[in-house]
Structure 1
């Protein structure tokens, strides 16, 4: 499942699930164009990579809500690194409150960051993939897209859109040798869980729903991404892989 020599564009690359995957790709010999706008997490990722003497990290703090500037920055980065082979659309915001309290502008902001920024990433990367007749696009969805969560309407909407786009892109880009899939993580103990007032109760809720009675770790996502980004997954496209300990079973 080698990704050595591949250039990977990864949004949200310094976050709770992103950092471990970024390091895993670097250890495997890939170059990672890591996009994240959290200064503390970016610094931690840089430190972790330098501590292991890992090469190939290109870290940029970009505002995903400014699509025009994002496109220009990514086009420049693509030129700098010689084209992008793999896109991982991971960055997301997740406001939590009752549906009727969201303004249209708030819902549009979630869509812009969680979905539209990913569209821009793919539009920038696709010409290189088409030229090489090889590419991997992976959208990070969520177990919430299957229902059962209140107060997250814009987030769930955005994750459903990423699943739909993965299927549409898979059909359209397959002729170019490009596969497109989605990963739907379950409940992982990251900063996202801070929206829950009672962490212990939420952990019990998670374990009650999972078939595997442990919390997921960032390495669980890293392993799935490493597979889908490699040649080993070359005949898998248009699929959504649930990495959730058996919460949802299809």
Structure 2
């Protein structure tokens, strides 16, 4: 599952499930352009890479909700690095409250970061991938798109959209040697779980519903992304892989 010398554009790469995956790619010899908007998490990612002596990391602080600025910055970076071979659309926001309390503008704000920013990333990366005849696009979805979660309707909507785009892009880009797949994480102990008022109760709920009776780890996602980003998955496209310990099966 080699990704050596590949250039990976990775949004939301400095936090949550992104950090370990970014380091894993660097260890495997890839170059990673890590996009994030949290200065503390960016500093932590840089420090971890430096501690291991890992090369090939470029970190850019960007607001993904500003799509025009995002496009301009990514086009500049793409020209500097010679194009992106792999795009991982991971960045997401996840407000939580009852559906009737969301404004339409709040719904749209979630879609702009979780979906539209990913569209911009793919639009920027696609010409290089087509010219090379090789590319990997990986969308980070969520099992919430299958199970449905109360109070997370904009987030669930966005993840369902990414699954749909995964299939549409896979159909359209396959002739160019580009695969498009999605990874749908289950419940992982990241900052995202801070929205739950009872962490201990939530952990018990998760383990009751999973077939595998342990919490997921960042390495579980890192392994799945490494597979999809490599030639090992060259005949797999349009698929959504649940990495959730057997919680939501479909």
RMSD: 0.5
CA distance in 1, matches of 2:211, 2:90: 25
Distance 1:215 1:234 in 2: 30
Instruction: Tell me the secondary structure at the aligned position of residue 188 of structure 2.
Output: coil
User: Following the alignment from structure 1 to structure 2, what is the Cα–Cα distance between the partners of residues 148 and 59?
Assistant: 34
**Whole-angstrom CA distance in 1 between matches of 2:88 and 2:41:** 18
Give distance in 1, aligned partners of 2:188 and 2:219: 11
Which whole-Å deviations, capped at 9, do the CAs of 1:10-49 have from their partners, x for residues lacking one? 0000011000000000000000000000000000000000
The equivalent residue for 1:153 is 153
1:248, distance to aligned residue in structure 2 (A): 1.4
Distance across 2 between alignment mates of 1:130 and 1:116: 21
Distance in 2 (CA, whole Å) between partners of 1:148 and 1:215 is 20
Partner of residue 176, structure 1: 176
2:26 matched residue in structure 1: 26
Aligned to 2:8: 8
Which runs of 5 or more residues in structure 2 are unaligned?
A: none
Deviation sequence 1:156-177 (CA, Å, 0-9, x none): 0000000000000000000000
Shift of 1:149: 1.4
1:114-151 Cα offsets, whole Å, 9 max, x none, are 00000000000000000000000000000100124100
Q: Which residue of 1 aligns with 2:60?
A: 60
Which residue does 2:221 correspond to in 1?
Answer: 221
CA distance in 1 between counterparts of 2:124 and 2:36 reads 17
Structure 1 residue ranges, 4+ long, deviating more than 6 angstroms after superposition: none
Contact conserved, 2:186 with 2:245, CA < 8 A, in 1? yes
1:109 paired to 2:106: no
* SS of aligned partner of 2:94: coil
Q: Which stretch shifts more, 145-154 or 126-135?
A: 145-154
Partner of 1:138: 138
Structure 1 stretches lacking a partner, 5+ long = none
Q: 1:196 and 2:196 equivalent? A: yes
* Correspondence 1:111-130 to 2 at 5 A: 111-130=111-130
Distance in 2 (alpha carbons) for counterparts of 1:248 and 1:15: 24
For the residues of structure 2 that align with 1:148 and 1:205, how far apart are their CA atoms?
15
Secondary structure of the structure 1 residue equivalent to 2:121: helix
**Do the aligned residues in 1 keep the contact of 2:4 with 2:28 (CA within 8 Å)?**
yes
SS of 2:226's partner is helix
Question: What is the total number of aligned residue pairs between the two structures?
Answer: 250
CA deviations on 1:208-245 (whole Å, 9 max, x unpaired) are 11000000000000000000000000000000000000
